[in-house]
Amino acid sequence: MPSKSWKCRKCGYHMDAETCPDNDGAVPCNGDISLCLNCGALYKMRFKRWKPMSGKEFDKLPDGVKKTIVQYEAARQNIVSR
């Protein structure tokens, strides 16, 4: 889904879309999680802006969410390494 573009604070990669894995029409809201497609940095939506996610925040996520993030990161690495 198109959104206001933003750059990853870690690598500078330009991002201009978000996709919800189970709802294509979803709009990001506070608490949602995203990752940079270039470097894998994690972000959390806070007050309508993507902010870097801390390790402590990641640790507090439900196990199922952490597992999904790990799977996405593995897929991202596979695509980037081609």
User: What is the domain partition of the chain in residue ranges?
Assistant: 2-80
pTM above 0.75, yes or no: yes
1 in Cβ contact with 7 (< 8 Å): no
36 in Cβ contact with 7 (< 8 Å): no
pLDDT-derived band at 44, boundaries 50, 70, 90: very high
The whole-angstrom separation of Cα 57 and Cα 10 is 17
Domain covering 2-80, topology: Rubrerythrin, domain 2 (2.20.28)
pLDDT at 3 over 70: no
* pLDDT one-digit tens code per residue, 13-35: 998 777 776 777 778 888 889 88
41 in Cβ contact with 50 (< 8 Å): no
* pLDDT one-digit tens code per residue, 56-70: 999 999 999 999 999
CB count, 10 Å around CB of 51? Answer: 12
34 in Cβ contact with 40 (< 8 Å): no
